[in-house]
Amino acid sequence: MSDINWNDYSLETQAIRAGHKRTHEDEHSMPIFTTSSYVFKSAEEASLRFTGQKPGNIYSRFTNPTVNAFQERLALMEKGERCLAFASGMAAIMAVGMGLLKTGDHIVCSRSVFGNTVIMFQNYFSKFGIETDFVDLIDAAAWEAAIKPNTRFLFLETPSNPLTEIADISLLADIAHAHDCLLIVDNCFCTPVLQRPFELGADIVIHSATKYIDGQGRCVGGAVIASDEIIEKFIYPYLRTGGATMSPFNAWVFLSGLETLAVRMKAHCDNAFELALWLEQQPSVAKVHYPGLPSHAQHELAKRQQSHFGGIVSFELVGGKEQAWKVIDATQMISITANLGDVKTTITHPATTTHGRLTPEARAIAGIKDGLVRISVGLESITDIKNDLLKGLSS
């Protein structure tokens, strides 16, 4: 098994088999290595491992076999060179900033990224003299205009949350590279099953493994995938020192999550597509946001860039906030929670939860209307999902 070159295999196979190096116990399934440290055969071997002259485990803050297996598997699936796992998606984003940036640097970031990413750049990196400009995700000219001589990277998520707007990754990679910047893509919504940013020119891919990679809402974790050079020079030294490490148990859960990711993503997409079509026909629904619908402004781009359209659907109710809350409160099965990427369908009202801290003006710029509802479509029967929503939609 150890001499297989997993690069020759397809994603579905890598997801199930890559990364596990069978031990002398001949186990079939990946074990959890719950050990903080490792022993060396001699003082000399300890010294060689610490200086990196000899490969091998040292200490589980930065070397653990279960975590390594997860890293190898995800790197292969993303078609990236190397992956490092972190304690959470936010810890992964923090690591990219800590590794790559210094005082006086500048970031250009999509306005519609995960709320804590905005807070990280705006409230924390700014304390160390790093400035961020936020731009409209789909306005390529605005991205280019925001770049300055000290810009280090462009940062985005596509599709965006909750409006599912799609950025042209190839175009933005070209713009970034023309100005000597890196393009960083948070690929949490699509996962490598639906979209592979490296094939489109991105330099760094971020994951919150908490979402679809786990897929069943159990563990928090994250990852950074990049070239050997970027990882070795900028990210690994920070992980080793900063210590926001993924636990072996969580890595083990995420490894089994990856094994079913391809079939789950397909099923999420199929359910979401059917729900989006159905919602478009409901008289109380003013607009449905889903990249799979021909009515979606970047439908053609989504078809080119993604292999399927994703599991997130949002829609605007004619009756505004009052009706949005009514639809949410009328559900009996669907979970009212802001988490996403779970086999369980979840529903949330962005204007008063995930985007509730924004001013009304900022919410208007972001296009988050009071009547907007976001659904992370799970894997229950689509008939039951529709029936649960119909209670509030038809009242």
Residues that bind ligand PLP (CB under 6 A): 88-90, 114, 157, 186, 188, 208, 210-211, 220, 222
Nearer to ligand PLP, 220 or 390 (CB): 220
Rounded to 10°, the helix 382-393/320-330 angle is 130
Query: Closest approach of Cβ 228 to ligand PLP, in Å?
Result: 24
Nearer to ligand PLP, 46 or 220 (CB): 220
342 Cβ partners below 8 Å, 6+ apart? 211, 215, 216, 217, 335, 376, 378
Query: Closest approach of Cβ 210 to ligand PLP, in Å?
Result: 4
Query: Closest approach of Cβ 145 to ligand PLP, in Å?
Result: 25
Nearer to ligand PLP, 254 or 273 (CB): 254
- In this structure, are strands 204-208 and 312-317 parallel, antiparallel, or unpaired? unpaired
111 Cβ partners below 8 Å, 6+ apart? 134, 135, 136, 137, 365, 366
Query: Closest approach of Cβ 90 to ligand PLP, in Å?
Result: 4
d(CA 37, CA 47) in angstroms, rounded, equals 15
Which residue has its beta carbon closest to ligand PLP?
89
* E strands present in 111-254: 131-135, 151-157, 182-186, 204-208, 222-226
Dig out the tokens for 173 from the structure.
């990679």
d(CA 131, CA 150) in angstroms, rounded, equals 10
Nearer to ligand PLP, 106 or 207 (CB): 207
| Residues 39 and 70 sit within 8 Å (Cβ to Cβ) | no
d(CA 116, CA 123) in angstroms, rounded, equals 10
Query: Closest approach of Cβ 195 to ligand PLP, in Å?
Result: 13
Query: Closest approach of Cβ 187 to ligand PLP, in Å?
Result: 8
